[in-house]
Amino acid sequence: MRVGITGHSNLVSGCLPVVRRALRDALADPPTRELVGVSCLAPGADQVFARVVLDLGGRLEAVLPASDYRSRLAPRHRAEFDSLVAAASSVRVLPFPRSERRAYLAASKEMVSSVDRVLAVWDGQPASGTGGTADVVAHARIRGVPVRVVWPAGATRDSARSG
Q: What is the pLDDT of residues 139-151, one digit of tens each?
A: 999 999 999 999 9
* pTM (global) more than 0.85: yes
Strands (E), 32-109: 36-39, 59-66, 90-96
- What's the pLDDT score for residue 163? 52
**Series of mean pLDDT values for 10-residue runs along the chain (163 residues):** 94 94 90 88 96 95 97 94 98 95 94 97 86 92 97 86 51
- As a whole number of angstroms, the distance between CA 160 and CA 142 comes to 31
Residues 17, 45, 141: CA angle, nearest 5 degrees:
130
Residue 53 belongs to what H/E stretch?
A: helix 45-55
- As a whole number of angstroms, the distance between CA 117 and CA 145 comes to 6
Task: Give the pLDDT confidence of 40-71 residue by residue, as tens digits.
Answer: 999 999 999 999 999 999 999 999 999 999 99
- What's the pLDDT score for residue 127? 77
Percentage of the chain modeled with pLDDT above 90: 85
- What's the pLDDT score for residue 128? 75
CATH code for the domain defined by 2-149: 3.40.50.450
- What's the pLDDT score for residue 153? 93
